[in-house]
Structure 1
Amino acid sequence: MEKKLKTPISDFERVSLNIGDEVLISGIIYTARDAAHKNMVDALDESKELPFDLKGQVVYYVGPTPAKPNQAIGSCGPTSSYRMDKFSPRLMKEGLKVMIGKGERSQELINEVKKYQGVYLMAIGGIGALLSKTVKSSEVIAYPELGAEAIRKLEVVNFPAIVAIDSKGNTLF
């Protein structure tokens, strides 16, 4: 049975998740891939404001395709998460708690997830067109010059994912 989560996901809900739990997320999530992660870490290093407050937020590693007419977004399947491992600890230090992507994460990142009591969720790769049906609205909020890698604010309803790393550092891998 899936656990229904509403963003922002509370500390209690987050730490109660265990590896293998199936979740359905509704609310606001943000997209960011490699280039956007680098831009955010650079901004932090330069004491600049971020495009959104990371505290308690959900970041989805995706670079969606252009939306077709009458759609909020195009195909939006997850990208490989390991590419964010060098940036994620800094963002977690600033309050990021939930990440969605696909594939394994480094042991260093797993340690950081445990340290900050975050969670890493996996979305199913290869079903980007189906995942796009959970997106009700999409708005570019930062780094439009990055094209598909721009940061977007998405409103989702029942976005499916699986807990791959829980707040205790347990991992499906």
Structure 2
Amino acid sequence: MTEFHLSTPLSKSDLDQLSTGDIVYLTGTVLTARDEAHARILEFTERGEELPFDLEGAAIYHCGPLMEQKDNKWEVVAAGPTTSARMSKMTPRLLERYNVTALIGKGGMNNVAGPLKGKCVYLAFTGGCAALAAENIQKVETVYWSDLGMPEAVWVLKVKNFGPLIVGIDAKGNDLFAKIDEKARNIFSRLI
């Protein structure tokens, strides 16, 4: 296990050096997107419409942050990860069209190791760390699709040393969560 301090957007060499179990801290720009934002991104794509934000090299954080407006600026109150598996079905189509280099969330993703291979990593943030995550967000740059509601909107965040994040799926196709699941099933099958 190695610790990395990386800046967004992640480069090909950044992705190549990461392996499952490594610890990552990110500095740069991160965009939040949950179920509704993913669905809208895919709707825009299917209609051939341009997105109002750039996903080239993007780091997408599966998060529904709690925000507060002070002096005409948004501030993050809490920004813990949401369950990434909910976005698993939409992720392959998203990655076919957009050069997203990092997905950040909680609890792993199902059947996305193949689509991530060679182009993207999944970084797991421990659930229950909403206040810790908020501490590492320096600034809310802007918000898109606020009509979806605060947790579903796309928030553009400037982060510094955002983490610790664990490489759950690396760009080589290795899936830490799948390995743990398989090991648990093997142990369970021996017990019955």
TM-score (norm 1): 0.93
- Matching residue of 2:171: 167
- Matching residue of 2:183: none
Pairwise CA distance, 1:135: 0.4
Which segment is superposed worse, 29-38 or 98-107?
A: 98-107
- Matching residue of 2:104: 100
- Matching residue of 2:18: 17
The answer on whether the counterparts of 1:2 and 1:22 sit within 8 Å (CA) in structure 2 is yes
Structure 2 counterpart SS, 1:8: coil
- Matching residue of 1:129: 131
Instruction: Say which of 142, 155, 158 aligns to 1:155.
Output: 158
Once residues 120 and 36 of structure 1 are traced to their aligned partners in structure 2, the CA distance between those partners, rounded to angstroms, is 18
Give a deviation string over 1:36-66, Cα, whole Å, max 9, x none: 0000000000000112221211000000112
Which segment is superposed worse, 50-59 or 33-42?
A: 50-59
- State the one-letter code of the partner of 1:105: M
- Matching residue of 1:83: 86
1:63 is the counterpart of 2:67? no
The answer on whether the counterparts of 2:141 and 2:158 sit within 8 Å (CA) in structure 1 is no
Pairwise CA distance, 1:102: 0.7
- Matching residue of 2:184: none
Pairwise CA distance, 1:90: 1.6
- State the one-letter code of the partner of 1:165: I
- State the one-letter code of the partner of 2:157: L
Distance verdict in 2 for CA 1:129–1:68, change over 3 Å: farther
Give a deviation string over 1:12-40, Cα, whole Å, max 9, x none: 11121000110110011100000000000
TM-score (norm 2): 0.84
- State the one-letter code of the partner of 1:31: T
The answer on whether the counterparts of 1:140 and 1:150 sit within 8 Å (CA) in structure 2 is no
- Matching residue of 2:46: 45
The answer on whether the counterparts of 1:97 and 1:119 sit within 8 Å (CA) in structure 2 is yes
Which segment is superposed worse, 85-94 or 125-134?
A: 85-94
The answer on whether the counterparts of 2:108 and 2:124 sit within 8 Å (CA) in structure 1 is no
- State the one-letter code of the partner of 1:167: A
Which segment is superposed worse, 1-10 or 157-166?
A: 1-10
Paired residues for 1:99-118 under 5 Å: 99-107=103-111, 109-114=112-117, 116-118=118-120
- Matching residue of 1:29: 30
* Structure 2: 5+ residue stretches without partners: 178-192
Give a deviation string over 1:59-116, Cα, whole Å, max 9, x none: 0000011237598301110000011112111221221121000112112x121111x5
- State the one-letter code of the partner of 1:50: L
Pairwise CA distance, 1:119: 0.4
**Percent sequence identity over matched residues?**
39
The answer on whether the counterparts of 1:72 and 1:135 sit within 8 Å (CA) in structure 2 is no
Which one has a larger percent strand, Structure 1 or Structure 2? 2
